[in-house]
Every structure is written in C-alpha cells, then in structure tokens.
Amino acid sequence: MDRTLLECAYGIETARTPDGAWDRFVYTLARFKLDKVIYVTRNDGAPPDWFIRSTLPNEWPRTLVKEPDFREPFVAYCCSTFEPTKLGIEYLDLNDHYVDDYTRNYIQEVREFGWHAGIGIPTALKGSGRHGGFILGNSLMRYDFERTVMPLVDDLRTLCLVANARFEAWRKGDIHTGEALPLSPRESQTMDLLSKGFRPKHIADSLGLKESSVRLYLKNAKSKLGAANNQDAVRLFLMRR
C-alpha cells in the first residue's frame, strides 16, 4: 500500500474525533489530486436515515436529503458489490443502464462544482442493514484520471474501508469522541510560535533548539490534536485556550 495512504489509514484509526479523521482523510486525498470527496450511507429500508460528509460547498448534497424523492445514484445503483464504479460526466457512457433524467441532472449539478471524473468505492453493501461508501473525484478529464488515479484504486479502497469502519463506529456510538491529549510544554511552545506565524527554523532559533527537534514537536502536537496539517493544528490549538 502507498506509504502516504497507509499513514493516513493509521491516522484515521487513531483519531480521537470524527472531524479530525475526516480532515486527515480529505487532506491526504488532495495530495493525490482527489479534492472532491463525498461520503454517503443510508439504511437499507425506510426511512433512509442518510449520513453525509462532503468537501463540496455546503456539504452538498446534504440539503437534498430533505426532499422525499432524493436518491444518490451511486448509493442507489452501485452498492450491490464491492466493485468500484467510474463516475461523473466523463464516464456517463459507461453507466447508461441506470442513467435516467434524475441521475443525469444530478451528474450535471456535480459538474457545476468542477467535478468531471470520479470513482465510487462501496464500503457497505445493500442487505447488510446499511449501505453506501465514498465518491472520490476531481476536475480531470478521462484520460488524465485513468493515468493518475486509477492505478491507486486498490489502495484507495483499503483506505475507504478503514475510514468507513471508523465513521460507522462513531455514528453508532461504539466509540466516543475524546478531548485531545495534553501537549507537553515544548509542544505548546512550538505551537504558540507557529500560531504567530513563525516557521520551524525561526521557532528553533527562538527556543535554542535544532530544527529537527521543532519539527518532531510539531508532528507530535498535530497527532495529539487530531490535526491533518499545520493550519488545522493551529486552529485546534487556539480553540483550546
């Protein structure tokens, strides 16, 4: 498995909050040019009890679930097997068997967010009580998507299965969110200076430390805070004051 995705899986598994896990997930995917992500699941029966997380504006399609006739095409048609499905306007010709007017309008709306190609990865199948999964995409055209994303599908599927298991455990209350672990004095010092705009080299000079030590303190602080990156770590650090 790709090392970066493997580290992301570990970060999700050890995250203390759903938001921290989600931030880590989408931050890592963006490094692979997958900057558009939807996670959607629903009960097999009625009412559907939708659960949605999304990087699209206003977490689209979250507002649509209020409509009684809402259906998410990937969840409706692609979750009978664990086989990933190529999605988006670039792959419309591959999905003629279920593309009706409703689905075509849905795909067109997604396109307006700059989403052209994607891969739907089921993580829970119909008949299991709850089904759904992840839709990962970007603005690439078909050829470039095939070249840059499709070779990673097996690794992405593993990552999505890990993420789904974690999010489902949180949703059902099997695990509880917890407060971030306390930072050591050095970790707090480095985070304080980072929040003031200092770079690691300048932090090291200010505290009389090696830059490698500062980077280690920052890495540990991000892990304890459940942050995906430095910007997120600063936000979480300042929230604790």
Judge if 166 and 196 occupy the same domain. no
Residue 103 in domain: yes
Domain termination site, one of 149, 172, 195: 172
Judge if 104 and 129 occupy the same domain. yes
Could you tell me the CATH number of the domain that includes residue 107? 3.30.450.80
Domain count across the chain: 2
In this prediction, residues 161-177 reach a mean pLDDT of 86
pLDDT given for residue 176 in this prediction: 60
* Per-residue buried b or exposed e for 139-166, using 16+ beta carbons within 10 Å of the residue's own CB: bbebeebeeebeebeebbbbbbbbbbeb
Residue 98 in domain: yes
Judge if 214 and 131 occupy the same domain. no
The answer to whether 228 and 20 are in contact (CB under 8 A) is yes
Judge if 138 and 95 occupy the same domain. yes
Judge if 85 and 142 occupy the same domain. yes
What does the pLDDT look like over 44-82, one tens digit per residue?
A: 998 899 999 999 999 999 999 989 899 999 999 999 999
pLDDT given for residue 90 in this prediction: 97
Of residues 3, 32, 15, 53, the one with CA closest to residue 162: 15
In this prediction, residues 16-25 reach a mean pLDDT of 89
Domain termination site, one of 129, 148, 172: 172
Q: Which has the higher per-residue pLDDT, 98 or 174?
A: 98
Judge if 121 and 199 occupy the same domain. no
Judge if 220 and 113 occupy the same domain. no
pLDDT given for residue 137 in this prediction: 98
Q: For the chain, what percent of residues have pLDDT higher than 90?
A: 73
The mean of the pLDDT values for the chain is: 92
Judge if 154 and 80 occupy the same domain. yes
In this prediction, residues 168-195 reach a mean pLDDT of 83
pLDDT given for residue 64 in this prediction: 94
pLDDT at 178 over 70: no
Q: Which has the higher per-residue pLDDT, 238 or 103?
A: 103
Could you tell me the CATH number of the domain that includes residue 204? 1.10.10.10
